[in-house]
Amino acid sequence: MPAWAAEVMVFSHRPMRSVESFTQQLQQLSKHDIAQTTQVDALAGAKLVVAVGAPSVAALAGKVSQPVLAVYITRQHYLQYQAQLRSALFIEPPLARQLALARALLGPEQQLGVLLEAREQWSEFSAQPLRADGTVDSLLGPLRVVAVSDYDSLNHALVALLKDSHALVGVYDPELYSAANIKNILITAYRQNVPLFGPSNAYIKAGALATTHSDMAQMAQRTAEMLDLAIAGNWPAAGYNPYFHVRYNEQVARSLNMVLPDAQALAAELADPSP
């Protein structure tokens, strides 16, 4: 389809096969005319622009007048670019869902641990107040939060957190859970027999026990729904994807002597807000 004829333009800052595949799936799911481009000038005739990834959002800054729906960006990046976006679909799972996953596998009474770079970050992941001692008074069950900045090293922060935690629930922070840190985090955790619930699907291969994850088909499904609402004049709020899978690392589960429930059934249970 010629770019000028498309009602919705999918924009990426450079050519990427993954964006082409995403656009194809979106075309199959949507009733609207959709095309994809890497050229800002090609967006002129579109009613709406879908920007894929934070670099694409940054490339559009101040250059388009159409409303922009950002997908495959973090909540943090959305807040950074919020002034130029009408809505967004976050790439990461919400912390509340990850905590619910951990509780489903370990039991509701087990204390969970969350590691942050700084205490001030907590408000980015949860609206629940954080006490001075790092505990959270909420329906999430026993939970303790430790900030690396309160200690002289990542290792000391980890040891302090893990000594009374039954699981480490990772937040989506690529700097904290970086390639340089993840091996150290995993080794320290498993030495104390504490599993990591990974902040994304990428950490399953590294050694995390489990995570929730939205694949490309599920991202396209939610994006198509958001486009329908937006074009009808009912722009949806920015948020997390309600469609997701549960992923396991079976080898890690065996090493911890854990029997895991059916992943598909657990995903359905976590998606259902009813008791």
Separation of alpha carbons 206 and 190, rounded Å: 13
For residue 129, the model assigns a pLDDT of: 84
Mean pLDDT highest for which of 22-26, 40-44, 125-129?
A: 22-26
Residue type (1 letter), 65: S
Residue 1 has pLDDT above 60, yes or no: no
245-248 and 210-213: which strand pairing?
antiparallel
Distance CA 37, CA 19 (A): 10
Mean pLDDT of 70-84: 95
Enumerate residues 6+ apart whose C-beta is below 8 A from 244. Answer: 93, 97, 212, 213, 214, 218, 267, 270, 271
Q: How confident is the model at residue 138 (pLDDT cuts 50, 70, 90)?
A: low
Whole-number pLDDT of residue 139:
58
Contacts of 22 (CB under 8 A, 6+ apart): 10, 52, 216, 219, 220
**Half-sphere exposure (Cβ direction) of 37: Cα atoms closer than 13 Å:** 22
C-alpha separations of 172 from 41, 107, 125, 154, 203 in Å: 34, 23, 9, 17, 11
Quick one: which H or E segment has residue 36? strand 34-37
CB-based contacts of 42, cutoff 8 Å, min separation 6 = 3, 4, 9
The average pLDDT across 224-231 equals: 96
The continuous run of DSSP H or E covering 9 comes out as: strand 8-11
**Does the pTM of the predicted model rise above 0.85?**
yes
C-alpha 56 chain-centroid distance: 18
pLDDT at 252 over 70: yes
State the chain's mean pLDDT as an integer: 92
